Chains A and B, each alone.
Chain A
């Protein structure tokens, strides 16, 4: 268990309306989705009826529809609004999908792994492509601080580092999301002072980070 706090789940732009991202935060499986009301939500990724992952379901309007029996759940409160097998009866009362606190800031969808954690806004930047590392958060953070010259820690889940000069030399804030004991996602914001095409910067960042990942994989 990592310390409670706000962690990135996805780039806000990668969570299109009607899309469901399948993400894990600290061992908790989440269906992260955006309905027609444009609000991003992170729900427990499990239908209460027979346990099917909601991330394989579909979004209709502001509701999430389970793939197995078509039960519908309202985005507003997670309540079941329809059980198609019994179209003329009220859905089981008190049935409600657990939602995690979500907010959007700096182009990223964030989730609180605890309750009421304080949100610290990172320095704005170009949103980078998230990458999965097959290491736990603590090990990854340590490895990165050791391997990336000039890097420094910002709290327990963020790092400040610089791309090598030939890759543009930009400063990045790496935002780590613990997923499981051997899985950590690295989101990021690139702080590019000079004007350059954002996608060129994002490409340089992801290729650099993929190189870091290969380095760690080979040393395991």
Chain B
């Protein structure tokens, strides 16, 4: 007992992960507009209970003691900021293009840290294993080199020229081919995937994952899909996206530790993990504490 008290005092000042200033001073998705149309939503953000609703077209969020939290409507979701509102919140301008369908594919609870969930979303190498017959298939397992860059003064992270053979890359795809991806991390806990559309290779499908940090080892993952597909109905589109995500879920819940280690030696990356390495560096540079094991 005594020894552990002394050790704590000797270390850096203890920072409660749920009060991580990087995440407090940030907008987070808490519910989709689609879900709120059916009624108020009770949820948890960074350990704080919130009730979220839409009243007269305006989003409102309240803490358990009745105090209001800052809200905004953006990209089909209600976002909440618990601390100081950041200067900018990223946009996905492609969603405004004509003929696009934008569908909320559900909010899922996952027992993992928010950064582990995002890192998985940025990963190509698992396709032939976790998404066998859909996003990958042996022996097409190779991950060719891709380009990683930080942009917007280090606030956004990109991976470009990602190519991978996929047997059935979307709900309406009937044959396999090499798909091209761009990954974008515009927010420490949000990621966007641009995928060449199998019907029209000049236009991109957009799939976004917004991770709501419930706690350091509990995520509420919101999935947004925007496709040019006009052959599948909404149930099929949603079903396909959920299927893919639900295949990742048991992997995420079986990672040890659940928090993402930021120290370079903690896990063993290979070239295919360039984006994972970059994401961990990006989080370290932001000084994130929540859901990670600091280097």
A residues in contact (CB < 8 Å) with B: 29, 45-46, 48-53, 56, 67-70, 83-89, 92, 95
Q: Is the CB of A87 within 8 A of B142?
A: yes
Q: Is the CB of A86 within 8 A of B267?
A: no
Given contacts A48-B268, A70-B138, A86-B271, 6 further A-B contacts (CB under 8 A): A49-B268, A51-B261, A56-B254, A67-B254, A85-B142, A85-B143
Q: Is the CB of A52 within 8 A of B255?
A: yes
In the docked arrangement, what's the CA distance between A213 and B270, Å? 48
Which residues of chain A have C-beta atoms less than 8 A from B138's C-beta?
A: 70, 84
Segment among B88-96, B126-134, B178-186 that sits at the interface with chain A: B126-134
Smallest CB separation, B163 vs chain A (Å): 13
Q: Which residue of chain B has its CB nearest to the CB of A45?
A: B256
Q: Is the CB of A84 within 8 A of B125?
A: yes
In the docked arrangement, what's the CA distance between A69 and B125, Å? 6
Q: Is the CB of A50 within 8 A of B255?
A: yes
In the docked arrangement, what's the CA distance between A50 and B130, Å? 14
Give 1 or 0 for each of B144-176: 1 = CB within 8 Å of chain A CB: 000000000000000000000000000000000
In the docked arrangement, what's the CA distance between A89 and B272, Å? 12
Which residues of chain B have C-beta atoms less than 8 A from A68's C-beta?
A: 126, 129-130, 251
Smallest CB separation, A85 vs chain B (Å): 4
Of B124, B261, B270, which is within 8 A of A92 by CB? B270
Q: Is the CB of B142 within 8 A of A48?
A: no
What class of interface size applies to chain B in its complex with A? 20 to 34
**Does B109 have its Cβ within 8 Å of any Cβ on chain A?**
no
What are 12 A-B pairs at a CB distance below 8 A?
Answer: A45-B256, A50-B267, A50-B276, A53-B256, A67-B254, A69-B129, A70-B128, A83-B270, A84-B125, A84-B129, A84-B141, A87-B139
In the docked arrangement, what's the CA distance between A136 and B125, Å? 41
In the docked arrangement, what's the CA distance between A50 and B277, Å? 11
Give 1 or 0 for each of B203-240: 1 = CB within 8 Å of chain A CB: 00000000000000000000000000000000000000
Of B125, B141, B251, which is within 8 A of A52 by CB? B251
A84, A88, A95: which has the most chain B beta carbons within 10 Å?
A84
Of A48, A51, A88, A89, which is within 8 A of B257 by CB? A51
Q: Is the CB of B126 within 8 A of A48?
A: no
Which residues of chain A have C-beta atoms less than 8 A from B139's C-beta?
A: 87
In the docked arrangement, what's the CA distance between A117 and B251, Å? 36
Smallest CB separation, A171 vs chain B (Å): 40
In the docked arrangement, what's the CA distance between A67 and B142, Å? 16
**Does B39 have its Cβ within 8 Å of any Cβ on chain A?**
no
Of A46, A56, A85, A88, which is within 8 A of B125 by CB? A85
Q: Is the CB of A48 within 8 A of B129?
A: no
Q: Which residue of chain B has its CB nearest to the CB of A94?
A: B268
Q: Which residue of chain B has its CB nearest to the CB of A29?
A: B256
Give 1 or 0 for each of B257-270: 1 = CB within 8 Å of chain A CB: 10001000001111
In the docked arrangement, what's the CA distance between A69 and B129, Å? 6
In the docked arrangement, what's the CA distance between A70 and B250, Å? 15
Given the known A-B contacts A68-B129, A70-B129, are A86 and B254 also in contact in the complex, defined by CB atoms under 8 Å?
no
Of A49, A56, A67, A84, which is within 8 A of B267 by CB? A49
In the docked arrangement, what's the CA distance between A32 and B271, Å? 30
Which residues of chain B have C-beta atoms less than 8 A from A92's C-beta?
A: 268, 270
Q: Which residue of chain B has its CB nearest to the CB of A65?
A: B129
Q: Is the CB of A52 within 8 A of B254?
A: yes
Smallest CB separation, B133 vs chain A (Å): 14
In the docked arrangement, what's the CA distance between A84 and B272, Å? 10
Q: Is the CB of A85 within 8 A of B255?
A: no
Q: Which residue of chain A has its CB nearest to the CB of B124?
A: A85
Smallest CB separation, B200 vs chain A (Å): 29
Q: Which residue of chain B has its CB nearest to the CB of A69?
A: B125
Smallest CB separation, A111 vs chain B (Å): 19
Which residues of chain A have C-beta atoms less than 8 A from B255's C-beta?
A: 50-53
Which residues of chain B have C-beta atoms less than 8 A from A50's C-beta?
A: 255, 267, 276
Smallest CB separation, A80 vs chain B (Å): 9
Smallest CB separation, A69 vs chain B (Å): 5
In the docked arrangement, what's the CA distance between A29 and B272, Å? 28
In the docked arrangement, what's the CA distance between A45 and B257, Å? 11
